[in-house]
């Protein structure tokens, strides 16, 4: 018998976005009941690993106009401008709120919050707490959320399906990892805040929980995935592990060097002009790959890489502003950045695409909202600027919490018995899968195949023949994923079946990603095609919308919301 519990709204995900949404809802409606469901304890969410900072206008020489323009330009004009305008306006308030809640932001001598430079930003507008910003933000949010009695946490519950009735979202079916039992967690609105899907790729800054579950949940429920072809490669990941060395390292004055020791972003024309190391991520990543291709990559036992040089900053500065970078470099690559160059190479970092939402964080399905990396409100367009996404989690999370609550208050609860029935079907499906030992595909083997397919087809540089191959291969992998070989029959904390369901989610997204990419015959932001090197506003200034069908994604288009800022050539 499965457990049914009823709440006003259900939030899936306890990262930055999910916690912010929960607090927003709980604060505005002390009498409401908010379920916060997460597959890991909230403080383990991957927001914890963000290092560099969160952007919001703070200085007198800055303005919302400038922040907006930087974001639009960074997005290669694919960002929706209504969303961007709303975002830059709300950003300072959101970060100030977090300050009031105890986040230990780094400070200027006069007691105000300190800001640092970041890639693609005109001026210093990135708030930071040394170089563990995501960690401090997440813990501040989580700890603050504990004061609300009406936030009911479901820790270590894995959501496997959205429960719907008459096309409205009415709750989720979730597997309690500890017991292996299913729960129907009902609410009159649901917010997805499940984060990104970097684990589709082999070499990524993302943790192992970033498997795009929320995107797959929405996709299967009939909601479109938007702009999935845009995958951000961060220029500076550690070779081998993919652990991120934050952009703040460059924001604080670090240099990128090639095998000859040259600062290639300055010495060669890569379009980043006088921004040099502070160019946007897509451009800097491309520059590194071009250096490799020109034979100026550094070859060592960790593979081809470039170098991040912080030695001129001095030990005191590094300890004060970048202590975590130093710790990571020492622990994971054996290099002390005070004395040596850190080996780095571009690494998959962030999904610009995601569940299609608007400025209200609402999806096309009534009662379903999405916020954070899982969503694509089109703030980030074709390329996200570093430090915009942590702020986005807060802005979009707060909006989602508010709107979901308002929606819930104005709608009625679904038929409990019918929803329980849905969850029971789901429970039966998962029970049949657990330890079934029937299939022939190994989870780890298939995962590696998916990883290498995506790396080959959808890297920093892409071309259409290989994207077509990847799309074909991804479809085949998706089909094979229904034939997994599972051996663990135990119900208690069975991580094998979680891994299997995550893999199924990822292969679905991998196909959408490859198919969407293959259809965009231009170069825009992070989607760079060798065979179509120019941006093509006449034919491709639209959002890719992917809908699930029996035989793979069906693509559609959605207009970009222009307005205040006209598309122009993107040069720095």
Partner 1 sequence: MTEAAEMMHVEVTRFDPDQDEVPKVQEYDIPIQSDWKVLDAINYIKDEVDSSLSHRWSCRMAVCGSCGMMVNGEPKLTCKTSLADYSGSIKIEPLANFPIVRDLVVDIDGFMDKFRQVKPWILRAKERAEDMEALNEKGTFSQSPAELGAFKQFSMCINCLLCYSACPVVANEPEFIGPAAIALGHRYNLDSRDEGARERNETFRGEGTVFSCSFANECSQVCPKNVDPAAAVNQAKLGAVIDWAKGLVLPREGA
Partner 2 sequence: MAGTAHPEAMAPPQKGPTRTAPPQMPGTWWGAPRIRTYLLFGATGIVYFIAGTVFLHLVWQLGKGPEAWETALSSLSHPAYIAFNALTLVSVIFVGVRAFGGMMPKMQPRTGPIPVLPAGTVKALIYGVWSLMTLVICLILAGVLF
Name the binder of 332 from partner 2, partner 1, ligand FAD, none, CB < 5-8 A by kind. Answer: partner 1
C-alpha neighbours within 13 Å on the C-beta side of residue 572: 27
Sites for ligand FAD among residues 327-356 (CB under 6 A): 350
Return the residue of 7, 132, 349, 570 that touches partner 1, per CB under 8 A: 132
Is residue 527 within 8 A of residue 543, CB to CB? The reply is: no
Which stretch in 94-102, 273-281, 385-393, 426-434 sits in contact with partner 1 by CB under 8 A?
94-102
Is the CB of 38 or the CB of 528 nearer to partner 2?
38
Sites for partner 2 among residues 406-425 (CB under 8 A): 409-413
Q: Which helix (H) or strand (E) holds 4?
A: strand 3-6
The count of residues in the chain is 572
Return the residue of 26, 83, 186, 209 that touches ligand FAD, per CB under 6 A: 209
Sign of CA dihedral 227, 455, 243, 212: positive
Binding string, residues 464-503; x marks residues near partner 2 by CB under 8 A: ----------------------------xx----------
HEC string for 112-132 = CECEECCCCCCCCCEECCCCC
CB within 8 A of 118, min separation 6: which ones?
Answer: 52, 53, 55, 125, 126, 247, 248, 251, 278, 385, 386, 387
State the nearest-atom distance from the C-beta of 173 to partner 2, in Å: 14
Among all chains, which residue has been given the structure tokens 């367009």? Answer: 381
* E strand intervals along 320-370: 342-351, 354-356, 368-370
Q: Does 154 bind partner 2 (CB under 8 A)?
A: yes
Q: Does 40 bind partner 1 (CB under 8 A)?
A: yes
* d(C-alpha 194, C-alpha 210), whole Å: 8
Beta bridge partners, 256, equal 308
Q: Does 40 bind ligand FAD (CB under 6 A)?
A: yes
State the nearest-atom distance from the C-beta of 239 to partner 1, in Å: 9
Name the binder of 301 from partner 1, ligand FAD, partner 2, none, CB < 5-8 A by kind. Answer: partner 1
**Total site size for partner 1, rule CB under 8 A:** 66
**Total site size for partner 2, rule CB under 8 A:** 27
Q: Does 61 bind partner 1 (CB under 8 A)?
A: no
State the nearest-atom distance from the C-beta of 95 to ligand FAD, in Å: 11
Name the binder of 143 from partner 2, ligand FAD, partner 1, none, CB < 5-8 A by kind. Answer: partner 1
Alpha helices in 410-463 (DSSP H): 416-433, 443-457
Is the CB of 18 or the CB of 466 nearer to ligand FAD?
18
CA torsion 155-157-159-160 (nearest 10°) is 170
Which stretch in 63-71, 189-197, 249-257, 457-465 sits in contact with ligand FAD by CB under 6 A?
189-197
Angle at 224 between CA 220 and CA 230, to 5 degrees: 115
CB within 8 A of 194, min separation 6: which ones?
Answer: 12, 13, 15, 18, 159, 212, 213, 214, 215, 217, 372, 374
State the nearest-atom distance from the C-beta of 109 to partner 2, in Å: 19
Q: Does 246 bind partner 1 (CB under 8 A)?
A: no
Return the residue of 8, 21, 26, 47 that touches ligand FAD, per CB under 6 A: 47
Among residues 144, 234, 257, 543, which one is catalytic? 234
**Helix and strand numbers, DSSP H then E, in the chain:** 16, 24
* d(C-alpha 127, C-alpha 97), whole Å: 13
Name the binder of 31 from partner 1, ligand FAD, partner 2, none, CB < 5-8 A by kind. Answer: partner 2
Is the CB of 135 or the CB of 154 nearer to partner 2?
154
CB within 8 A of 50, min separation 6: which ones?
Answer: 133, 134, 135, 137, 389, 390
Query: Which pair of tokens denotes residue 76?
Result: 């290669």
As a 3-state breakdown, the chain gives helix, strand, coil percent values, each rounded to 5, of: 40, 20, 40
Name the binder of 194 from partner 2, partner 1, ligand FAD, none, CB < 5-8 A by kind. Answer: ligand FAD
Return the residue of 51, 94, 161, 176 that touches partner 2, per CB under 8 A: 176
188 is annotated as an active-site residue: no
Phi, psi (degrees; rounded to nearest 5) at 349: -130, -40
* d(C-alpha 343, C-alpha 330), whole Å: 12
Name the binder of 345 from partner 1, partner 2, ligand FAD, none, CB < 5-8 A by kind. Answer: none
286 is annotated as an active-site residue: no
Instruction: Spell out the long-range contacts of 494-498 with Cβ–Cβ below 8 A and sequence spacing 24 or more.
Output: 494/177, 494/180, 494/434, 494/435, 495/177, 496/435, 496/443, 497/175, 497/430, 497/433, 497/434, 497/435, 498/39, 498/158, 498/175, 498/177
Neighbour tally for 230: CB within 10 Å: 31
**Total site size for ligand FAD, rule CB under 6 A:** 47
Is residue 203 within 8 A of residue 238, CB to CB? The reply is: no
Among residues 250, 305, 349, 447, which one is catalytic? 250
State the nearest-atom distance from the C-beta of 110 to ligand FAD, in Å: 25
Name the binder of 86 from partner 1, partner 2, ligand FAD, none, CB < 5-8 A by kind. Answer: none
Q: What is the longest distance spanned by two Cα atoms in the chain?
A: 69
Q: Contact residues for partner 1 (CB under 8 A)? A: 40-41, 43-46, 48-49, 58, 92-93, 96-97, 99-102, 104-113, 132, 135-136, 139, 143-144, 146-147, 155, 178, 207-209, 240-241, 243-244, 301-303, 324, 327-328, 331-332, 443-444, 486-496, 499
Active site residues: 234, 250
Q: Contact residues for ligand FAD (CB under 6 A)? A: 12-18, 37-40, 42, 45-47, 49-54, 133-134, 158-159, 193-196, 205-206, 209-210, 213-214, 244, 246, 350, 372-374, 386-390, 393
Q: Contact residues for partner 2 (CB under 8 A)? A: 3, 5-8, 31-33, 35, 149-150, 152-154, 157, 176, 178-179, 181, 183, 409-413, 492-493
């Amino acid at each position: 018998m499965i457990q049914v519990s009823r709440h006003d709204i259900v939030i899936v995900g306890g990262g930055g976005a999910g916690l912010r949404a929960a607090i927003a809802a709980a604060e505005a409606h002390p009498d409401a009941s908010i379920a916060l469901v997460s597959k890991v304890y909230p403080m383990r969410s991957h927001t914890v690993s963000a290092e560099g900072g969160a952007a919001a206008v703070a200085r007198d020489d800055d303005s919302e106009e400038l922040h907006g323009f930087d974001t639009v330009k960074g997005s290669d004009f694919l960002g929706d401008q209504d969303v961007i305008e709303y975002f830059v306006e709300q950003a300072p308030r959101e970060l100030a709120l977090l300050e009031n809640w105890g986040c230990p932001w780094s400070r200027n001598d006069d007691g105000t919050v300190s800001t640092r430079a970041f890639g693609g930003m005109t001026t210093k507008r990135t708030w930071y707490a040394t170089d563990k910003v995501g960690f401090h933000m997440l813990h501040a949010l989580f700890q603050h959320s504990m004061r609300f009695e009406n936030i009911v946490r479901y820790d270590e519950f894995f959501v496997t399906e959205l429960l719907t009735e008459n096309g409205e979202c009415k709750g989720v079916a979730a597997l309690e990892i500890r017991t292996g039992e299913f729960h129907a967690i009902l609410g009159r609105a649901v917010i997805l805040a499940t984060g990104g899907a970097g684990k589709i790729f082999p070499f990524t800054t993302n943790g192992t929980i970033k498997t795009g579950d929320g995107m797959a949940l929405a996709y299967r429920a009939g909601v479109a995935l938007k702009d999935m072809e845009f995958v951000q490669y961060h220029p500076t990941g550690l070779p081998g592990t993919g652990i991120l060395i934050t952009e703040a390292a460059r924001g604080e004055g670090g240099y990128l060097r090639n095998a000859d020791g040259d600062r290639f972003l300055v010495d060669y024309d890569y379009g980043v002009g006088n921004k040099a190391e502070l160019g946007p991520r897509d451009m800097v990543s491309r520059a590194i790959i071009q250096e490799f291709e020109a034979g100026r990559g550094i070859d060592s036992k960790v593979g081809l890489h470039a170098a991040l040089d912080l030695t001129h900053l001095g030990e005191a500065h590094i300890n004060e502003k970048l202590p975590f970078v130093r710790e990571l470099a020492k622990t994971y690559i054996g290099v002390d950045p005070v004395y040596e160059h850190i080996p780095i190479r571009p690494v998959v970092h962030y999904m610009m695409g995601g569940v299609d939402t608007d400025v209200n964080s609402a999806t096309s399905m009534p009662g379903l909202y999405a916020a954070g990396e899982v969503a694509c409100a089109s703030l980030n367009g074709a390329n996200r600027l570093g430090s915009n996404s942590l702020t986005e989690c807060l802005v979009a999370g707060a909006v989602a919490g508010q709107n979901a609550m308002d929606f819930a208050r104005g709608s009625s609860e679904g038929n409990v018995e019918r929803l329980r029935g849905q969850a029971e079907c789901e429970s039966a499906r998962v029970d049949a899968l657990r330890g079934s030992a029937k299939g022939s595909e190994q989870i780890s083997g298939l995962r590696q195949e998916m990883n290498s397919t995506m790396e080959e087809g959808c890297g920093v540089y892409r071309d259409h023949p290989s994207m077509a191959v990847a799309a074909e291969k991804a479809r085949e992998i998706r089909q094979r994923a229904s034939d997994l070989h599972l051996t663990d029959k135990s119900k208690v904390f069975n991580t094998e079946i979680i891994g299997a369901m995550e893999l199924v989610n990822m292969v679905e997204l991998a196909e959408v990603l490859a198919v969407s990419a293959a259809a965009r015959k231009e170069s825009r932001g992070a989607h760079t095609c060798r065979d179509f090197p120019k941006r093509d506003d006449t034919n491709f200034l639209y959002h890719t919308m992917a809908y699930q069908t029996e035989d793979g994604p069906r693509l559609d288009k959605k207009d970009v919301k222009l307005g205040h800022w006209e598309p122009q050539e993107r040069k720095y």
